[in-house]
Amino acid sequence: MAGIYLHIPFCKQACHYCDFHFSTQVKSMPDLLQAMHRELQSRRNYLEGETVETIYFGGGTPSLLATDDLKRLLDAIHGYFPVASNAEITLEANPDDLTYHKIIELARTPVNRFSIGVQSFRDQDLQWMNRAHSSSQADFSVKCAQDRGFENITIDLIYSIPGLSDRDWMENIRKAVDLQIQHISAYSLTIEPQTAFGHQMAKQELQPVDDETGSKQFITLVQELARSGFQQYEVSNFCKPGMESKHNSAYWLGKKYLGIGPSAHSFNGTSRQWNVSNNPRYAKGWMTGVPELETEMLDNRTRINEYLMTRLRTAWGVDLEFLQNTYGIDLWQLEKSRFEELIGDGLMHKDNHIITLTTQGLLRADRIASELFILES
């Protein structure tokens, strides 16, 4: 199994929390799309003939793409790579882009999954975050997509928003559940230095939500979605049975993927590559045959630590036998006292050779993983 990710780095406007690579200069989109076609052609052997089972249009705002441009990219992928007949093809979309006519057009393409950036069903939150849509547009976009036959829809929600009470958060969760969608991704608001919120915080114009409130809202999320039949299979991701994101799951399970577009990352099992995070330089590089593409070779220590970091965030957990058989490392014996401490504190479970985190442990997943990192190859 392999996946292809296409980064569409354009947005109508900048959300105050976003630190992904994007541009609001959409007039350069044609040149950039031409370079993405060139990159697809140039890297057609990167996945070594593995069947592509997931295609993901991320961004940025991929729903800004004209339907014909979307089709041309999909045609190119099918021309250069073997693609499974039942491939999961996801398009990230903003609610304001998913008009009735846009959804009708998209229903005529191979896209079979929407990831809709709702973020909140409260207009005051959306305005504060500088989102381009309203709560009514969010509701309409989901229902309209469902009416046109889309049966695999996920939405994003954000908690730990200043001014978002526990009651408000509960109402957001309930509205999401009432839409009868198959998947929900929910993230705690993170304030990065180079964002608008980061600049506000540096000037003490913004006070982030305290950890206790954020943890409480996370636990509410886990409990309420479980009551509604959702399974938590990763820290921030919840689905109805069998409706996991195949594409994102491939990241966490260590599958190969090819990233196309500026700032996009690729992974082939032994190395990681990434494109320059600059639209003009990306386009010039691929069109002239001299791409700005960096490569990192992964030694065993790095691969083990990445495995710990990603798998501890998931319901699949860390397989101690896999580490022993693949890398010759007995992690349980190396970290036995720490494992026993985590289990005793109610942060971790051990079921035979599988280690998973509890809900309380997931709140500390990154810290726990870093404590278990292998320091020497």
What is the per-residue pLDDT across 279-303, written as a single tens digit (0 to 9) for each?
999 999 999 999 999 999 999 999 9
Q: Are residues 134 and 197 in the same domain?
A: yes
CA angle 119, 212, 365 (to 5 degrees): 75
- Give the span between the Cα atoms of 307 and 303, in whole angstroms: 6
pLDDT of residue 22: 87
Looking at residues 327-334, what average pLDDT do you find? 95
Whether 376 has a pLDDT exceeding 90, the answer reads: no
Other beta carbons within 10 angstroms of residue 9's beta carbon come to 25
Q: From its phi and psi, is residue 313 left (phi > 0), alpha (psi between -120 and 50) or beta?
A: alpha
Q: Are residues 17 and 96 in the same domain?
A: yes
Supply the mean pLDDT for the chain. 96
- pLDDT grade, residue 241 (50/70/90)? very high
Q: Are residues 84 and 215 in the same domain?
A: yes
pLDDT of residue 266: 98
Domain-ending residue, one of 251, 272, 291:
251
CATH number (domain holding residue 123): 3.80.30.20
Q: Are residues 236 and 321 in the same domain?
A: no
Please report, rounded to a whole number, the percentage of residues in the chain having pLDDT higher than 90: 97
Structure tokens at 254: 């260590």
Which H or E run contains 135?
helix 135-147
Q: Are residues 25 and 127 in the same domain?
A: yes
Looking at residues 208-217, what average pLDDT do you find? 96
pLDDT of residue 59: 94
pLDDT of residue 264: 98
CA angle 245, 45, 77 (to 5 degrees): 50
Domain-ending residue, one of 211, 232, 251:
251
Q: Read off the pLDDT of residues 17-40 as tens digits, 9 standing for 90 and up.
A: 998 998 988 899 999 999 999 999
Whose CA is closest to 145, among 171, 186, 179, 172? 179
Q: Are residues 125 and 39 in the same domain?
A: yes
> Residue 264 falls within a domain, yes or no?
no
Structure tokens at 228: 């509604």
Other beta carbons within 10 angstroms of residue 229's beta carbon come to 11
Sign of the torsion angle spanned by Cα atoms 337, 340, 346, 352: positive
Sign of the torsion angle spanned by Cα atoms 243, 245, 249, 250: positive
Range of the domain at 81: 2-251
Whether 16 has a pLDDT exceeding 90, the answer reads: yes
> Which 8-state DSSP code applies to residue 10?
B
Whether 238 has a pLDDT exceeding 60, the answer reads: yes
> Residue 259 falls within a domain, yes or no?
no
Other beta carbons within 10 angstroms of residue 222's beta carbon come to 18
- Give the span between the Cα atoms of 298 and 377, in whole angstroms: 11
- pLDDT grade, residue 121 (50/70/90)? very high
Query: How many distinct structural domains can be found in the chain?
Result: 2
Whether 377 has a pLDDT exceeding 60, the answer reads: no
Q: Are residues 319 and 242 in the same domain?
A: no
- Give the span between the Cα atoms of 326 and 22, in whole angstroms: 38
Looking at residues 182-198, what average pLDDT do you find? 96
Using DSSP bridges, classify how beta strands 256-260 and 2-8 pair: parallel, antiparallel or unpaired: parallel
pLDDT of residue 308: 97
Structure tokens at 221: 């999320």
- Give the span between the Cα atoms of 5 and 272, in whole angstroms: 14
pLDDT of residue 220: 98
- Give the span between the Cα atoms of 69 and 62, in whole angstroms: 11
pLDDT of residue 270: 93
3 phi/psi in degrees, rounded to 5: -130, 160
> Residue 268 falls within a domain, yes or no?
no
Q: Read off the pLDDT of residues 124-148 as tens digits, 9 standing for 90 and up.
A: 999 999 999 999 999 999 999 999 9
Q: Are residues 165 and 308 in the same domain?
A: no
Structure tokens at 217: 């809202």
Domain-ending residue, one of 227, 251, 275:
251
* Residue 99 near residue 119, CB atoms below 8 Å: no
Q: Are residues 197 and 120 in the same domain?
A: yes
